[in-house]
Amino acid sequence: MDLRQTVLEAKDICKSFYDNLVLDHVNFSCTSGEIHTLVGENGAGKSTLMRIFSGVYQPTSGELYLNGKPVKFTGTLQAQQAGVSIIHQEFNLVPHMSIAENIFLGRQLRKKGGNLDFPAMRRRTEELSRMMRMELEPDAPVCSLTVAQQQMVEIMKAIELDTQIIIMDEPTAALTPVEVSSLFAAMRRLRDEGRTIIYISHRLNEVFDISDRITVLKDGVMAATLRTEETTKDEVVSLMVGRKLDNIFPPRDEAAGEVRLQAEGLVIAPGKGPASFSVRAGEILGVTGLEGQGQRELLRALFGLHRLAAGKIFIDGQEVRIRSTREAMAHGVTFLTDDRKNEGLCLDLPIYRNISLPVFRRLKTGPFLTVQAERQETQRYMELMNIKAESSAKLVRKLSGGNQQKVLLGKCLSPAPKVLLVHEPTRGIDVAAKIEIYTLLKKLAREEQVAVVMVSSDLMEVLNVSDRILVVYGGGISGELAAADATEESVMRLATGVAKEAAV
Amino acid sequence: MNLRAFIKRHDNLFIVYAILLAVAVVGAVSSPRFLTGINLGNIMEQAVGLGIVALGQVLTILLAGIDLSVGAVVSMSTAIMSLELSGGAAGILLNILLTLAAGALVGVFNGFGIVRLRIPPFIMTLSTMCIVNGVALKIRPVPGGSIPYEFMDLLFGRIGIFPHAVLLWAVAGALLVWLLGSRRLGRNLYAVGGNPTTAALSGIPVGRVRMQAHILCSVLAAVGGICVAARMGSGDATLGETYSMDSVTVCVLGGVSLFGGQGNIVGLLASTFILTGISNILNMVGVSSYYQYVFKGLILLVTVLVFSIKDKQKG
């Protein structure tokens, strides 16, 4: 290619969990002084590959070469020492410790005699923060920083480790555009010093902005490695998805009945919002926004999981009070959480126990609940949703992500809801399962006249599944778009508050 | 850093010292004897044992763990101290060494169970508590034995109003401030307590840190037990019972988070005196000791409530 040397090379990497092959003979290489982006759908295996590079996982088969020499990482510490560090999506910082202490965690500088050398650590932290063009007080506890600043602390930590390769797993997910551009400036400086950055992102605009090369993973197989200037977004998307977008999302049609759910002046916290909106029976309302703008709280408030400072909720024209999940369900509202493992499912219970959980009362015969009744109920949903399991007695933990998600959706449907609230309905599942979930949501809306509110950060999903799109900014609605007219750009403009300011 | 920011960062400390001040005022108002030198000396005498035990307890709580066996170690320590092993006052040295060794052994046992066998600290130290209580009762089935007068005088003779043992407490406290503040072990302790995954990923030997914390905790409990024994002048295998829960109370009152990684020992000085001061006041005004328990419980409840409301406001 050019004079740059290959620093990290993966040959024929395979990785399987239980019986699932997550990575299938992946070949990957990156050179010094490049920003190499890895793109792919949720569940394509990006994170798994990065965890292999950083020593969290060991490959089932295949080899890793670092600077031409074969290496086997048995842990992150070993990978760090060899020159690979990773910045995870969830930060690895100790919240109540200072910035300086976090940067030197486990490698504190010491004076003669073993007392810690705080002045030296502080000085070095200041140096690093100047290098990042940040004004950070070394003694400030990490929990007092913004997400973007915490991100910078992670990067400073990686630089202090002096690793040749820095892996960043979706570092921009929670950043504002200004913060993103300062992060990118920092990344470019690191690249120009000759370091390698492996970058994972979902945001194609950013990917094209920052990368030198792009590698596309699809269903655990490496689809292609492309030079950024020689490719187009369309090419990358079709490689990622492996089929045209039209085949993933259900066809557009129109149908909407009476207003089913109406929210007036919802205030998620004093000083935020207010937000007013409505959803019709048979309609899918897509709600999106940058992370932390309040869409999560608005959705959860409708299910009694977030206490509102003010606001009224009407269902079928009747004002209702929803202060607990129990009250929400009594009004025909169900909720699909974005945190499947902690909030959504009892992983160590069988499928039927999970699906029957919200409807024990209905399934009971006198005072007794029989397994038979539960399994009968569950069978309907197993068929409706095409849940792949040999029996409904299988433990949920043993299912794939996609099937777990379908069980979760089944749990939301068993109470026969009038209003279905879904939060990131397809996070971390494969395309096949996504298609099934989209089809099902559409069918529920159109055939059962359910009003669906879908909060999602996946723009493709919001643009293509919703009938109408609301964009949330600062706890209020910064704009509403008809799905047919909305574009990625028009949504992002509203999401960053740009459009609103322009209108003033 | 300006004063306001300083107070805000250390508001738990200000709260606990304010409570101590309030207790002192209540004491002074309710009895003229409260502020006398003799009484203040008595309070210190009572506080020393608990204070030292709590210094150990704080280490396990910073790790988001707990040590329920410290009370049993105190009991066992008084039992060992009261054995007449060899004649003469100097013979007590052997008792002291044995007590400290027994304490260290308990710490190793706790640490082994928690680190190697991965037993939750609550369960592990609960089991240890039972075992050690049994051992203490075997050594000293009924209260008795005696401790040389010279040794009692060494620890609880007074300079002015201060019992000598206060010096021991102060030294232990200073050592711990140093350990937690400027030694690698101390900082690693906070990291493990604050986020064990991060600590492990940063190359901190998490297991070793836990083990060292538990050994230190149990040894400090043994030191506390030695003080209790010297104050009582005899051994009693049930004397330590209240120390486990009281030391946890002291830590929580002192602003150390039960979730780990947060807090320091500066507050423990105040909280130890709050607890002993309240008992002292209630004794002086003649309130039955049964009500003292109720009082202790209420104080703990109110403090924790204040801390949690404050944290919620911080967001």
Query: For residue range B203-259, what is the model confidence (pLDDT) as tens digits?
Result: 889 999 999 999 999 999 999 999 999 999 999 999 999 999 999 999 999 989 888
Q: Quote the number of domains for chain B.
A: 1
pLDDT (mean) for B292-296:
83
What is the pLDDT at residue A409? 92
Residues of chain A positioned with their CB less than 8 A from the CB of B190: 94, 96-97
What is the pLDDT at residue A1? 45
Nearest to B203 among A97, A106, A115 (CB): A106
Give per-residue pLDDT as tens, A418-435: 999 999 998 777 777 888
Average pLDDT, chain A: 86
Q: Is the CB of residue B48 less than 8 Å from the CB of residue B168?
A: yes
- Token pair 């008792």 is found at B95
- Pairwise CA distance, residues A57 & A198, whole Å: 17
Contacts of A214 (CB under 8 A, 6+ apart): A36, A37, A38, A39, A207, A225, A226, A227, A228, A231, A236
Domains A6-245 and A255-332+417-504 share a fold: yes
Residue B167 in any domain: the answer is: yes
pLDDT (mean) for B171-183:
94
Residue B277 in any domain: the answer is: no
pLDDT band at A173 (very low <50, low <70, confident <90, very high): low
What is the pLDDT at residue B213? 97
B-facing residues of A in 76-105 (CB < 8 A) are 76-77, 80, 92-97, 101, 105
- Pairwise CA distance, residues B264 & B259, whole Å: 13
> How close A137 comes to chain B (CA, Å)?
11
Return the amino acid letter for B270. A
Higher-confidence residue: A461 or B308? Answer: A461
Reported residue count of chain B is 315
* Backbone dihedral region for residue B287 (phi beyond 0: left; psi -120 to 50: alpha; all else: beta): beta
Q: Which domain holds residue B104?
A: 36-241+257-263
What is the pLDDT at residue A183? 83
pLDDT (mean) for B6-17:
81
Residue B60 in any domain: the answer is: yes
Task: Tell me, yes or no, if B207 comes closer than 8 A to chain A by beta carbon.
Answer: no
Please check the confidence at residue B59 and state whether its pLDDT lies above 60: yes
Name beta bridge partners: A35. A197
Average pLDDT, chain B: 91
Q: Which two tokens stand for residue A94?
A: 């100790």
Residues of chain A positioned with their CB less than 8 A from the CB of B188: 106
Task: Tell me, yes or no, if A110 comes closer than 8 A to chain B by beta carbon.
Answer: yes
Nearest to A356 by CA among A345, A340, A341, A342: A345
Nearest to B183 among A80, A96, A116 (CB): A116
pLDDT (mean) for B85-114:
91
Please check the confidence at residue B84 and state whether its pLDDT lies above 90: no
Please check the confidence at residue B114 and state whether its pLDDT lies above 50: yes
pLDDT (mean) for A131-156:
84
Give per-residue pLDDT as tens, A289-317: 887 788 999 999 999 999 999 999 999 99
What is the pLDDT at residue A504? 36
Nearest to A54 by CA among A156, A128, A150, A158: A158
Nearest to A115 among B182, B191, B199 (CB): B182
Higher-confidence residue: A203 or B206? Answer: B206
Task: Tell me, yes or no, if B258 comes closer than 8 A to chain A by beta carbon.
Answer: no
Residues of chain A positioned with their CB less than 8 A from the CB of B183: 114-116
Q: Is the CB of residue B124 less than 8 Å from the CB of residue B114?
A: yes
Higher-confidence residue: A154 or B314? Answer: A154
Nearest to A96 among B199, B202, B262 (CB): B262
Q: Is the CB of residue B113 less than 8 Å from the CB of residue B135?
A: no
Higher-confidence residue: A350 or A458? Answer: A350
Give per-residue burial for A214-253: e unless 16+ CB within 10 Å, then b: bbbbbbbbbbeebebeebeeeebeebbbbeeeeebbbeee
Specify the DSSP class assigned to residue A116: B
pLDDT band at B4 (very low <50, low <70, confident <90, very high): confident
Specify the pTM.
0.77
* A106: closest chain B residue by CA: B204
- Token pair 């929400």 is found at A328
CATH 3.40.50.300 for domain A6-245: yes
Name beta bridge partners: A65. A9, A70
pLDDT (mean) for A39-68:
85
Which among B189, B190, B201 is the top mutation candidate for probing chain A, defined by the most A β-carbons within 10 Å of its own β-carbon? B201
Looking at A101-115, A148-162, B38-52, B165-179, which range is the least confident one? A148-162
Please check the confidence at residue B180 and state whether its pLDDT lies above 80: yes
Q: Which two tokens stand for residue B2?
A: 């300006």
Residue B42 in any domain: the answer is: yes
- Pairwise CA distance, residues B90 & B85, whole Å: 11
Percent of chain A with pLDDT over 90: 28
Domain positions in chain A are 6-245, 255-332+417-504, 344-416
pLDDT band at B315 (very low <50, low <70, confident <90, very high): very low
Residue B84 in any domain: the answer is: yes
pLDDT band at B293 (very low <50, low <70, confident <90, very high): confident
- Pairwise CA distance, residues A381 & A414, whole Å: 8
CATH superfamily of A255-332+417-504: P-loop containing nucleotide triphosphate hydrolases (3.40.50.300)
pLDDT band at B163 (very low <50, low <70, confident <90, very high): very high
